[in-house]
Chains A and B, each alone.
Chain A
Amino acid sequence: MIKKLKGTKDILMTFVSLLVAVLVYGIFLIISGVNPLDIYSQMITQTLGNGYGIGQVIVKSTPFILVAVATTISAKAGLVNVGGEGQLVLGALTSTIAAVFLLDGFPSFIGIPLMAVAGMLGGMFWSGLAGVMRVCWNMNETLTTVIMNYIAYDIVAYAVYGRLKDPESFNWPMSPKIGAQLKLPEIYPGVSIGIIIAVVISLTTWFILSKSTGGYKLRVIGGNVEAARHAGIPVAATQIKAFLISGAISGLAGMIEIAGVEGRLRTTTGTNYGYYGFLAAWMAWNNPLAAIFTALLIGFLSVSGNVVEISSGLPSSCTKILMAIILLSILWKGKKK
């Protein structure tokens, strides 16, 4: 009974904090000289009021969900993986390389899974490096993953300006288009099956983490490394494994960006997606199921913020401000333990 009350209070608090955020931003809009009611109604009607808008929110949220799940897995093992960004970008790179150089002639049913594997390997390679540095040389993983994000951008730029450049692009830095048969099937115009993959992965992760012994081991390590060692759990191996899986999922997110959305690699593909995913994970207190919703929220905010900018003439920075205010108020709600 008490528990139930507490749950209701929690939901109520979420509402209240969101209401505060919407009010604060409303005041901000009034100061900027626009009518907040107009803006809010446009945000709703033009993103959630039609199929295209909803589709875009879903497409935008898909990589956030995957990176959030990836972040969660390493977090459960007591590791802070801020490298979702670099792992995603590198996954996008390797899957594009595979698609362009190897899989061009393959039919969908072989080509797409192989491309996914390539993307996952790319992400795994990048997270694996950080994992090895962490476990074998005791190098702080928060730091290495952040730094490796910047290196990943440069690797992609190197590839896209160099060998991977589309010969028909008049020397603009972008990869060739991947074969049409390698694009992910669509479940709705503009929306690929990527979202289904993301949701399934987050459900599976949730299940494994909370139900299986592997998940239990992971949580023990995350709780207390020493205790885990005493209990005979192979800490190093498990942490590396967690990092590898986490990188594979981020890499898959990169592959879905390529095969489901972009169709080719550019230097800016996926920029900041990793950070948004990281944010979604921590907002959801590293619960893979809740992360679906926080990722959708972030996706909604970024898509609808665009609408505000176009119709009201406010500068694009206003979107970031709105997002920050809403996120802060959710964080303000704090952790209920």
Chain B
Amino acid sequence: MRKEMKKLLGTGLAGLSVAAMLSGCTGTEGGADTAQVSAADNGDAAVVGFIFVGAKDDYGYNKAAYLGSLAVEEKFGDKVKVLRSENVPETEEASRTLEQMIQQGATVLFPTSYGHLYPAMDVAEKHPDLVFYHQGGLECADNLGTYFGTIYEPYYLAGMAAGAATESDKLGFVGSFPIPQVIENINAFELGAKAMNPDVTTTVIFTSSWSDPALQTSAANSLIDSGCDVIAQHQDSTKTIIELCEDKGVYAVGYHADASELAPNMWLTAAIWKWDELFCDMAETAIEGKFDGSIYDGKYRAGIAEGVVDLASFGPSVSQETKDAINEVKQKMIDGTFSAFSGLIKDQNGNVVCEDGHTMTVDEAESMNYFVEGVIGTIEE
């Protein structure tokens, strides 16, 4: 019994002693005692915080947002201090991280993943004087605006390239999770492909992971084995599948960033993000206190017209004819005379999901829960 108590005390003290020792370090430094100190360290600079759901080096979604945050840092130099946190899960952990940033003086915050929305809402309510920009959200608050790029526009265009390229009329798509952002892209891809080639189908495999290269490889191999000769994807790290396509001699459609150098022969094109200017402008608006009533105070959506999303360079196999057709549609998108999700669209089961003559609203498009006709795959009802 006595022995047990000692043992217990020993382990228990482990916890306390870390604290004690660490504060010892503080002492030698001359007593930096309060959180205010680090806030004061910022001087006159405004502090902008970014949180990312994954690693900044994923060559995908998070990398794109991370590059945006770098652009903010570069543009404003000493005037703005940028805080970042990667791998922030979409749970209460996100509120915790936002609060920690606020303690370090952050006044403008960018929670950049869809699941960060509700935690950010809670934090925003507690700090009405700060500005929050959420990436992809469909709900707003007084001091929380959401922004997103209509990435499905370039994905529709990429679908056109794929539809023109395929010989087997079977396209493959390696998805991550069956969430609306992914479903939108798959549907736009199929619709674009069908515009060029009415017989085309898209087969979808979900990996339930944003970046598991081994699973991506197996999934892409499965699709290729079942006859698909174009592989598109919605994964955070796109490199594995693109290189695999080059090896296997099937066409590759990329995502997030231009990766044409990874597949010099088989590359078609990709839908890519360009956050830089938007992030800088949003940060500036908030720092200058002009958030209220600005275009960002609400649901801000920008697309190909604004240059927030774009189509990557074309690969060597895309014919001039196809390029012309794609550029024509792209120009119509920029002019606002064409939308990927308009006109008569049916789902997998033949139900009409978009009436003839109707163009889907942001809310309709961003809460998709069905595959359009021609997509082979299953999602929960």
Given the known interface contacts A18-B18, A41-B32, A290-B8, the answer about A170 and B85 at a Cβ–Cβ threshold of 8 Å is: no
Give Cα A17–Cα B149 distance, bound, in whole angstroms. 51
Interface of B is mostly: helix
- Which residues of chain B are within 8 angstroms of A161 by Cβ–Cβ distance? 177-178, 379-380
Closest-by-CB residue of A relative to B103 is A46
**Residue pair A309, B85 in contact (C-beta under 8 Å):** yes
Selected contact of A316 from candidates B3, B11, B33, B55, CB within 8 Å: B55
**Residue pair A14, B85 in contact (C-beta under 8 Å):** no
- Which residues of chain A are within 8 angstroms of B322 by Cβ–Cβ distance? none
**Residue pair B380, A162 in contact (C-beta under 8 Å):** yes
Give Cα A22–Cα B20 distance, bound, in whole angstroms. 12
Q: A269-294: which have CB < 8 Å to B? A: 269, 271, 283-285, 287, 289-290, 292-294
Selected contact of A297 from candidates B8, B15, B35, B86, CB within 8 Å: B15
Selected contact of B26 from candidates A3, A13, A45, CB within 8 Å: A45
Selected contact of B3 from candidates A3, A36, A46, A49, CB within 8 Å: A3
**Residues of A within 8 Å of B, CB-based: how many?**
71
**Residue pair B90, A266 in contact (C-beta under 8 Å):** yes
Give Cα A15–Cα B38 distance, bound, in whole angstroms. 29
Give Cα A58–Cα B88 distance, bound, in whole angstroms. 19
Closest beta carbon of chain B to A195's beta carbon, Å: 14
Give Cα A173–Cα B90 distance, bound, in whole angstroms. 11
Given the known interface contacts A14-B11, A162-B380, A311-B83, the answer about A170 and B26 at a Cβ–Cβ threshold of 8 Å is: no
Closest beta carbon of chain A to B123's beta carbon, Å: 11
Given the known interface contacts A44-B23, A171-B367, A210-B4, the answer about A293 and B97 at a Cβ–Cβ threshold of 8 Å is: no
- Which residues of chain B are within 8 angstroms of A46 by Cβ–Cβ distance? 35, 38, 100, 103-104
Selected contact of A294 from candidates B15, B33, B86, CB within 8 Å: B15
**Residue pair B14, A269 in contact (C-beta under 8 Å):** no
Q: B149-195: which have CB < 8 Å to A? A: 177-180
Selected contact of B92 from candidates A3, A36, A261, A330, CB within 8 Å: A261
Give Cα A92–Cα B4 distance, bound, in whole angstroms. 34
Residues on A lying within 8 angstroms of B by beta carbon are: 3, 6-7, 10-11, 13-15, 18-19, 22, 36-38, 40-46, 48-50, 52, 56, 154, 157-158, 161-162, 165, 170-174, 210, 261-262, 264, 266-269, 271, 283-285, 287, 289-290, 292-294, 296-297, 300-301, 303, 306-307, 309-311, 313, 315-316, 326, 330, 336
Q: 20 other contacts beyond A297-B18, A310-B100, with CB at 8 A cut-off?
A: A7-B6, A11-B10, A13-B10, A14-B11, A22-B22, A41-B29, A45-B37, A45-B38, A56-B99, A158-B380, A171-B180, A266-B91, A266-B115, A284-B11, A285-B7, A290-B8, A293-B16, A297-B14, A306-B100, A330-B11
A and B contact pairs by CB, cutoff 8 A, 7 listed: A14-B17, A15-B21, A154-B208, A165-B380, A287-B11, A293-B16, A296-B15
